[in-house]
């Protein structure tokens, strides 16, 4: 039986480059006797609806883009209650998932992985039942630090640019009291930054030295003058792993609430703006089947 793959991309991104990649992919699939159909949308809601519909009609969906584009596919799977194998041709600004899955940025190499047809299961998280987290969720006054630092400044000035931006944030922002609550765990922390990840790798770098049994939370909290070296370390490296003011735990079902209801914190999911607190986070083990070596 002839297979059919959906090809999902943002037709408005990259001056039409994604569409050109999709057209080349369709030719490659045809050479393997695989039919293809383009999946696009006028906006996020339209795209999610199109993906949900396609999931019932195709054997796999190939994503052309980064974490944000892949997130829409996983979100559609969650909302529609139906999944199919996913292929990925990285072309977005943020490609953390592709690095974790060891999918190369080179288009030809990524297509060859898809054509081989081997899949591997990957865990994801979600905000409630309807918003996927395929790589990470962050919040706190330092959560947007990397987004505030322009790529050209990173290349030109290196780590010092993190330090300068972090000092700027320290002057204008502060921490917030946050409650983490599940059936078996409850704690309050004065949060500067919270990073929640779906795997033991962040951006292709080993971040945790053991397999995860849930979403992994890393919290930078309760800062004081005596603990300021932790903040300076983060400011100089952009890495919170070496800080002494850290708490780690894993979660499968947890409510996260801000004590300051007048200024609820904004989250970022897979590099894009997410919902404000409060949020309920859920763990979905082996949710995505992804073409990979």
Domain ranges in the chain are 3-123, 136-285
Could you tell me which CATH number the domain at 136-285 has? 2.60.200.40
Q: For 156-195, write each residue's pLDDT tens digit.
A: 445 455 455 555 555 455 678 999 999 888 999 988 889 8
Q: How many CA atoms lie within 13 A of 221 on its CB side?
A: 18
Average pLDDT over residues 282-286: 96
Of 3.10.180.10, 3.40.50.2020, 3.40.1380.20, 3.40.50.10330, the CATH number of 3-123 is 3.40.50.10330
Determine the pLDDT at residue 149: 47
pLDDT over 90 (residue 230) = no
Q: Are 93 and 271 contacting, i.e. CB atoms less than 8 angstroms apart? A: yes
pLDDT at 152: 45
Q: What are phi and psi of 114, to 5 degrees?
A: -60, -45
């Amino acid at each position: 039986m002839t297979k059919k793959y959906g090809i999902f991309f943002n037709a408005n991104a990259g001056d039409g480059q994604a569409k050109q990649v999709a057209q080349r992919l369709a030719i490659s699939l045809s050479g393997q006797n695989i039919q293809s159909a383009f999946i696009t949308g006028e906006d996020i809601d339209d795209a999610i609806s199109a993906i949900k519909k396609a999931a019932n009609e195709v054997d796999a969906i190939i994503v052309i883009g980064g974490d944000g584009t892949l997130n829409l596919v996983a979100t559609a799977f969650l909302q529609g209650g139906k999944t199919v194998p996913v292929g990925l041709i990285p072309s977005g600004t943020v490609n953390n998932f592709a690095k974790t899955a060891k999918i190369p940025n080179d288009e030809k190499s990524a297509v060859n992985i898809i054509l081989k047809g081997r899949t591997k299961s990957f865990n994801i998280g979600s905000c409630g039942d309807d918003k996927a987290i395929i790589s990470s969720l962050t919040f706190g006054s330092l959560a947007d630090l990397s987004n505030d630092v322009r790529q050209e400044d990173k290349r030109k000035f290196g780590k010092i640019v993190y330090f300068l931006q972090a000092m700027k944030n320290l002057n204008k922002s502060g921490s917030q009291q946050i409650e983490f609550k599940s059936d078996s765990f409850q704690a309050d922390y004065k949060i500067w930054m919270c990073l929640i990840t779906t795997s033991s790798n962040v951006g292709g770098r080993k971040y945790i030295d053991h397999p995860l049994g849930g979403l992994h939370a890393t919290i930078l909290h309760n800062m004081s003058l005596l603990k300021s070296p932790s903040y300076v370390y983060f400011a100089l490296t952009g890495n919170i792993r070496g800080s002494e003011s850290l708490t780690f735990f894993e979660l499968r079902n947890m409510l996260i609430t801000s004590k300051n209801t007048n200024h609820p914190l904004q989250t970022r999911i897979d590099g894009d703006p997410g919902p404000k607190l409060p949020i309920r986070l859920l763990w979905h083990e082996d949710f995505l089947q992804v073409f990979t070596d």
